[in-house]
Structure 1
């Protein structure tokens, strides 16, 4: 393994370890790129790596950037069924925040890797990297000790897997599942969606205040955009307010699968769109609902809130109303200043706050929508 002093190509140092390792290998390699790979300059990979690289990503924005760099790229919910068994000389993965995701990737690597090929895992101690390396080593019938580089660890786990190996528990990753917390709503979810097996407390706080928020309208809005829809908990509430036309968008492939399943038999007209904060959407909406993230993988991303607000400013009808719920410590009101003439704090329980936005000022937008991935 190479020296840890090589300059990082990514703000996530565990991803950087994998990219540095990629410089030293030859063959056909699969990079499993989730949200932790957000800052990678994909064009550089072709410049410094001589191996054949394929990328699978469950994030629309990452897949779009990788494809734009002319790298063989697959955007899906970590569905590896399109690859031939034992077709890769290596699989590179920075462990995920979600255990089910990581176990799923490790399990699938057992099928994808050639005999004697290796799974490269990276992450920090608090990410559970040592435990994952131990589990993968047992699964692959081998042993591996992760090497420490500062706060990060990198492990090479060679494959020697029996045909009847016992998979790690991935919570039935590929399946839509009934969730007890969602049963009264008739909703289902799946691993891979943020907070997949619960109701987000911020979203619940938002829904509690929807009657107050919707009183802003003289007439019931006809169109709704759920910006960052997850499995669809927020936009599912639209039926209580007779909103017939819904657009649900997310950059997470698992979320798109889940929300599609939840609205399969709906009487409402629902359009489901893969996007990077609504970048491919061009029409305007009477109302926009949003519970935006503020993390990218293990890292806090301070720009995310601003990007969601700019998208909302661009997509909200001039006489429309947008409603946000965020953690109370997020300075959304400050970030929204200049983008909206009206910014109203509706409720704050000390943990979450609900904010209403109206009168969008489109001339204040810095970003422009980008092209759709084909």
Structure 2
């Protein structure tokens, strides 16, 4: 028996309508409901969802920005509303700008993440009617009144980092509006004069005392690349690989690295799934929420697999909310763990591959 999200369960009550169409499924798709419709395609900005969908034989396109070829022949767009409203507006506007004007539209999502805002967000573009509600979700039917114009330049947000570098990010990217406290603490743990210098420089590759050091660094769950953006000036000889699952993060990281002329390798990856080779250091500010629920499964996978991707005496350094059990996970995976920096909310942990 298939496990469907509440949003898909409400859609399942309308299969008579769905079966009449060639369907584009898009948005926050977390199950394989699309597989039940032969004439369907999924557009997703989440790499881990794309790999799962492809594995289940579903025609899938992974991108941050979709084009007319991606929606060609579609007569119905089914959009799953994500938890970040700005991301929903970004994705839905671009999709509405490329679908055929006669395309029918279904918009579905959980009430708690704001799907009901569709009732007044697109008044000049869509005629919207709520057609169902169940399982704390709402389903809307819509038709285009006017094809909107979409210009990605209107969706970039920027702010200045403490080092003066500008940070650019698209909707849905973590820390888009300001430098978050966790990343700020993680960045500060690399500053040479920082008072939290680790006790054993050998076990940290002397990162905090030799700015000329040449080393290979992997930033997992990189977001817009804020860590590399902040550290490149201090450590210009590091070779960076940045990885994230979200397509908007990948595009944002590319822009930020171009802005500082840093030739980083930027990869879409489900944690370490697409990573090759070994590194001297892995850095991460990993997510610990799935919607509004605490979920550290991603970080547990990252920590357990990290030793395989580190050279001898290579280090894993992560920042986390202090209540999370990452210190225990790192001790189990590496046999050692050290607190590098700490404040009232966050802790920076480091483990070293000693064998």
TM-score (structure 2 length as normaliser): 0.84
Q: How does 1:63-212 map to 2 (within 5 A)?
A: 63-83=50-70, 87-115=73-101, 117-136=103-122, 138-140=124-126, 142-145=127-130, 147-157=132-142, 159-162=143-146, 173=152, 177=156, 179-182=158-161, 184-211=164-191, 212=196
Deviations 1:218-237 (A, max 9, x none): 46351100111111111221
Task: Assess, with a 3 A threshold, how the Cα gap between structure 1 residues 146 and 299 changes in structure 2: closer, same or farther.
Answer: farther
Matching of residue 249 in structure 1 with residue 257 in structure 2: no
Task: Assess, with a 3 A threshold, how the Cα gap between structure 1 residues 175 and 213 changes in structure 2: closer, same or farther.
Answer: farther
Q: 1 CA distance for matches of 2:291 and 2:216?
A: 31
C-alpha contact (below 8 Å) 1:189/1:258 kept by paired residues: yes
Gaps of 5+ in 1: 1-6, 362-374
Deviation at 1:176, TM superposition (A): 7.1
Aligned to 1:225: 218
Aligned to 1:290: 284
Deviation at 1:286, TM superposition (A): 0.6
Deviation at 1:357, TM superposition (A): 1.0
C-alpha contact (below 8 Å) 1:181/1:197 kept by paired residues: no
Match of 2:347, SS?
Answer: strand
Q: 1 CA distance for matches of 2:20 and 2:260?
A: 50
Task: Assess, with a 3 A threshold, how the Cα gap between structure 1 residues 301 and 33 changes in structure 2: closer, same or farther.
Answer: farther
Deviations 1:112-141 (A, max 9, x none): 44455432122232212212133345521x
Aligned pair count reads: 339
Q: 2 CA distance for matches of 1:129 and 1:360?
A: 49
Deviation at 1:105, TM superposition (A): 3.1
Gaps of 5+ in 2: none
C-alpha contact (below 8 Å) 2:257/2:263 kept by paired residues: no
C-alpha contact (below 8 Å) 2:285/2:318 kept by paired residues: yes
Q: 2 CA distance for matches of 1:92 and 1:344?
A: 48
Superposed CA RMSD: 2.9
